[in-house]
Amino acid sequence: MLTATDPSTGKLLHEVPAATSAQVEDILSRAETAFKSWRTRSYNERAEVLLKVAKLMRDDVDRLAILMTEEMGKPIKEARAEVIKSAWCAEHYAENAEAYLQPQTLGSDATLSYVQHLPLGVILGILPWNAPFWLAFRYAAPTLMAGNTCVMKHDPHVPACAQAIADLFVQVGAPADIFQNLPLETPAVEAVIRDKRIQAVSFTGSEKGGGAVASIAASEIKHSVLELGGSDPCIVLADANLDEAADIITLSRIINAGQSCIAAKRIIVEASVYDSLVEKVHERLARLKMGDPREESTDIGPIARSDLRDNLHRQVAASVDAGARCLLGGEMPDGPGYFYPVTLLVDVTESMVASCEETFGPVAVIMKAENEEQAIAIANNSDYGLAAAVWTRADRGEAIARRLEVGQVAVNGIVKTDPRLPSGGIKRSGMGRELGPHGIREFVNAQQVWIGPKQGS
């Protein structure tokens, strides 16, 4: 049974039966059958479907947004923005997939030799709860435009979001079964990964979950793309615009109540401007309003589940016990729901829990570095390598980016995902890339074609 709970109240919303073995078999069979036809469609025909879905999302944004607010607590203004961003992703790939997948002519001893990009088949998407629409379209839009079909296993806590996403394709009259929702409890996913009809897997979620998925897929000689956790550093050097840095750090840290893999997790500040940056961030965090995510004025909604909130509080308490100073928040609130206050921890060191582990909530962690070299060393001292930000002169920041052990760097700006640009991590933050031209090439057969007769001697 898939159970959705309103995290703002702790009350049960609804329960959805998990798919039976017979239903799983039917979904996979129909996805394979749909692929045989979908792969033959032109890019224009595929694009027409994606553009219709995007238009429907834009037209129906309020209905779709509230599903996220109810099931995982995203503030309604952020939920609307997520629906619109998802529509943009569909539009982007509808408009650019053909160019991204153009055959590449390569010189050889052939009369003509080139690489063409062909679809693989049925691609399984295993998705988390924190961005239900965006992560679905980040996986599905490039996968479908490449000519594959999609089977989406969404998080068990957002079943209404998952079904609404699948229903969009039905509502626009898309070819049957090119995108299907597979409502499953997590233990049942292994058998689906191993099914011979699944050709590859896209996974977004925890490091532990990603390791399990990659291991299972590899044992079946199947490709997987993993976007996992992050403990993203944000370096602020003495020559930075501190007001702009504080504005963006605050925004990055509290989007989705801090429940974002690419949020600024470790704010590493050069000593000479440390106190000033702390003051500016404290001032901005203190102004934020925590409350009912349905209210337009709410900045911070609840944590998605009670166990996640408990773990977040453990991280805060352990860091304070180890010597961090808590300047804001840090106390478990009374009352219904899974709310956690905006929290500011300063004087955090590399051995503390808040630095070593990913903090998934509205907790800002500020660390001091004596200079640029130490800031880079602290930033790289992590098992994760998802993304990073640097605040300094543009040319200096660009040089620092080459030295950071992450898959994505923003210089004087916010780390974000963008359909036009590849995103992904190294180390324990994952493997492969999503979005941009790199993302759509993850799930294709890069087929080499050699056409004779042989040329030359």
pLDDT in tens, 407-437: 999 999 999 999 999 999 999 999 999 999 9
Alpha-carbon span 319 to 15, nearest angstrom? 37
Alpha-carbon span 300 to 259, nearest angstrom? 11
DSSP letters spanning 57-95 = HHHTHHHHHHHHHHHH---HHHHHHHHHHHHHHHHHHHH
Mean pLDDT, range 164-184, rounded to an integer: 98
pLDDT at 201: 98
Q: Considering the domain 233-418, what is its CATH architecture?
A: 3-Layer(aba) Sandwich (3.40)
Give per-residue pLDDT as tens, 34-61: 999 999 999 999 999 999 999 999 999 9
Alpha-carbon span 11 to 425, nearest angstrom? 36
* Cβ–Cβ < 8 Å for 235, 391: yes
Catalytic machinery residues: 227, 261
pLDDT greater than 80 at residue 155: yes
Q: For 352, phi and psi rounded to 5 degrees?
A: -80, 150
Mean pLDDT, range 11-33, rounded to an integer: 97
Alpha-carbon span 208 to 300, nearest angstrom? 27
User: What share of the chain in percent tops pLDDT 90?
Assistant: 100
pLDDT at 210: 97
Alpha-carbon span 48 to 90, nearest angstrom? 10
Q: Do domains 2-228+430-449 and 233-418 have the same CATH topology?
A: no
The CATH code that applies to domain 2-228+430-449 is 3.40.605.10
Alpha-carbon span 456 to 126, nearest angstrom? 50
User: What share of the chain in percent tops pLDDT 70?
Assistant: 100
What are the domain boundaries of the chain?
A: 2-228+430-449, 233-418
What are the start-end ranges of the E strands in 276-424?
A: 325-328, 343-346, 363-369, 384-385, 388-391, 409-411
Strands 426-427, 409-411: pairing is unpaired
Give per-residue pLDDT as tens, 98-123: 999 999 999 999 999 999 999 999 99
pLDDT at 302: 98
> What are the tokens at 10?
């702790």
Mean pLDDT (the chain) is 97
Helices (H) and strands (E) in the chain, counts: 15, 20
Mean pLDDT, range 83-108, rounded to an integer: 98
pLDDT greater than 90 at residue 456: no
Q: Letter for the amino acid at 131?
A: A
Mean pLDDT, range 385-402, rounded to an integer: 98
What is the pTM (predicted TM-score) of this model? 0.97
Give per-residue pLDDT as tens, 221-275: 999 999 999 999 999 999 999 999 999 999 999 999 999 999 999 999 999 999 9
pLDDT greater than 90 at residue 329: yes
pLDDT at 457: 61
Q: For 26, phi and psi rounded to 5 degrees?
A: -65, -45
221: alpha, beta or left, given left = phi > 0 and alpha = psi -120 to 50? left
Who's near 443: CB < 8 A, 6+ residues apart? 119, 120, 123, 142, 143, 146, 148, 199, 200, 202, 223, 225
pLDDT at 196: 98
Residue located via tokens 């479908």: 144
Alpha-carbon span 45 to 43, nearest angstrom? 5
* Cβ–Cβ < 8 Å for 395, 240: no
Burial zone of 201 (CB within 10 Å; 0-12 exposed, 13-18 middle, 19+ buried): buried
**What is residue 390's three-state secondary structure?**
strand
Mean pLDDT, range 381-397, rounded to an integer: 98
pLDDT at 185: 93
